Chain A
C-alpha cells in the first residue's frame, strides 16, 4: 500500500535486486495464457482440438450457462469499441497473445527499458485491436496533455510535433491511403509546433492562464460531455467522438489522479514523455478498457509500485488472481442461473434482470418483498461474478508485468458494512473518489464538526463526484453524447444519494462503535453477527440498484415504491 500516499519512489537498486529471472514462472504465465486461449477463443477449432464444451461432455460434465453457441466458454472478458475484428473471440486471442508478448518483453528486457517496453507492447496490441486511429488518438491526446503539464521538457518542440501529426490521423485514418498523406500530416505536425511555440507556451508562462489550460486538459472529458450535449440538444445531431479520443477519455479518472499528484508536487516537472506514457499505457488496461478504468491510479501509485518486490512473487500473485478470475468467468452465469431456477421452482418469482422486474412493476404486476430482495441480490451477484472475473484478470496482468497493484475487487461478500464494501468492490475507483472529492472537502470545511464534516465529504465523493464525474460521463461515452442520455443518467440520482447516506451512516457507526481486537469473520460466537451484517450490507447495496437499472417508463415515484416494497411496505 506504499503508493497510497505517494511515497518516495522505490530505489532503483531495490528494483534491480527484484529483477531476477525464474524460468518456472515464465512457463507458468504462458501456460495460463494457453488455458485462457483454449477456453475463450476459437484457437482449439483452428488446431483441430476438441472444443471446451466437447471436452467437458466427453468427461461426462453437462453444464448449462457456461458455454456459448460456438462451444467455447462464454465470457465477460472482451475488447470494447473495436470493429477491426468481427468476433470477440478473435479480439480475445489478440489480447492473450499480446499479453504474452508484453510479459516476455518486460520480464527479460534490461531494467532501464522495462517500463518503456510496456508502452511499446501496449501500443502494438492497441494498434492491432483498434487500428491506427486508436493509437494515433491516444498519442495525440496524451502528448498534448504532457506538453501542457510538463512544458520544461528538453525536447518539447520536437514533442509538440506529435499532437498535430497524430491528430491528423486520429480524425481521418483512412486518409493514410491517400498519396499526399505524409506531406499533409507533416504539415499538421509543423503547425502544431508553431501553435505550441508561439501560443501555448506563452499562455503557460502566464500563471492564471496556465492553471486554466491545465484544468481544461484534465477535465476535457467532462467539458466535452457538457458541450456535446448542449450542441446536440440545441443545434445538430449527436456528436461522435473519434475512437482514439474516446480511448483517451477512458483514461480520464487516472489523468485526474495524475493531476492531483502533480498539484501535490509528487511528479518531477521534467519527466520524459516516455515516463509519462508509462503511467497510462499498460497492457493491463486493454481488456474491458472501460471497466476498472482507475486501476494503476496516477503517477505516484504506478511508479512506486513497479518492481517494489521480487518480480516472481508479483507474477505468482498475478497468477493467483487469474485462477480466481477463471472461476468467476466460467461458473458465474451457471451459479446465477442455478439459483434463479431454484427460487422459481420454490414458487418465489425472481427475475433475471432488475430492469424486467421494474418494467413488470410499472405495468401493474403485484410484487412481494421476496421478489424484490432476491431479484436485486441475484442481479448483484451476477454482476459481481462478471466484474470480479474481469477485474482479477486485469489486475493479474498488471502484476504479471511487474506492478504491485492492490486488488480492485476483494471478496466484497465479506463486507460487514458499506465502508468496507465500497473498498472491496471497487478499491481503485474508491481511492479516486476519496482523493479527488473526499479529502478536499474533509480538510477544508467544517473542522470541529466531526459528523457534518464526514457527511459532506462522503456526499461529495460517493454522491456528487460519483454521479457527475464517474457515472454521467461514462454513460454518455457508452451511448451517445446526447442531452437525453445526460438527463437519463442524472435521473439515477437517488441511487447515489442512498449510497452516500448508507456510507455516511456506516462511517458514524465505525467512529463510535466499541473498539475490540476482534476482526470480522473470526470463527467465534459472534460470527452469526458477521453473517447478518454482511447480508444487510449486500442487500442494501443491491436494493438501491432499483434506481439504477430501471425501466425508462418508470417514474421516480415508481422506483421509490419498488424500493419500499423491498422493505415490506
Chain B
C-alpha cells in the first residue's frame, strides 16, 4: 500500500518538475522575444532544434545511467571515437555512398566501448564515475594514438547530403536567406520514444529504476544487477555512437575531439529535467525539456545582444535555479512530513 502511495507521489513530483521547466522555457522565450522578435521565428526554432539534436541523443543515454544510480562521463569520448574510427574505415575503403553506412559502422564500436564500461562497473563494482573517468581518458588516448588527430572532412557523399537535407525550408524572419529543418531531429524523436517505452513498459526498464532506487532491495527482489548494468552501458554506448555520427554528419567533419567537454552540460540538462542524480527517478520528457532549455540559453545570447563569453555564466545561472528550486521544494515537503 505505502509503496504504491510513494510511487504516486514520486510520479507527481516528476510531473511537477517537468511543468516547472516548461514554464521556465515559456517565460524565457517571452523575455527573449520581447527583446528580439526574431527568436520565435520558424528559422530560429529550426536552428535551436538542430543544436538540440546531438545533445538530446546524448542526454537520453545520460538519463538511463542516472536512473540506474550511476554517473557516466565517458559518452563524449565514445561518441567521438566511434564516429572517428567509422569515418577512418570508410575513407580507407573509399566508400562514397549512403549516409546510413557510417551509422552502421560506428555503432558496434560504440556498443563495445559501452560494454567495457559495463564490465568494470558490474564485475569490480568500482564507482561508475571513476570507471568512466578512466575509460574516457583511455578511449580518447587510444583514438589519438592509433588513428591520429587530424579531422576528417572528406566524408562519404551520403553523409554530407544528410547535413544538407531538409524536411521543411522557410524564409528567415528578416526575409534575407532561408532556414531548413534537418531530418536528424527525427532520429532524436524516434530514440526518445523507444527509450521511453523501454523504461516504462518493460520489466528491464522497471529494473533500471529499481536498481537506482535501492540496489539491495532490487537484488533481493530478483533483479539481475550485472545484466541490467551491461544493458544500460551498452545502450549508452550505442546512443553515443548515434550522437557522434549525427554530429559529424551535421557539420560534415569527423573531428576526433568534437564533443570533448560537453559531458557536464549534458548531465546538467538531464538533472534540470528532474532526473535524480542519486538514481531511481527521471523521465524522457523532462530530459528533453532540460536539453531544450539549455539550448535556448546557449543559442540566444547573440540575439539578445549578450557577448558569447557570457555563455557559460548564463548556463550556470539557469542550472543553479533549475536544480535548487526542486531541492527547496523537496526540503519543504520533508519538513511538512516531519511536522505530521
Q: Do A and B interact? A: no
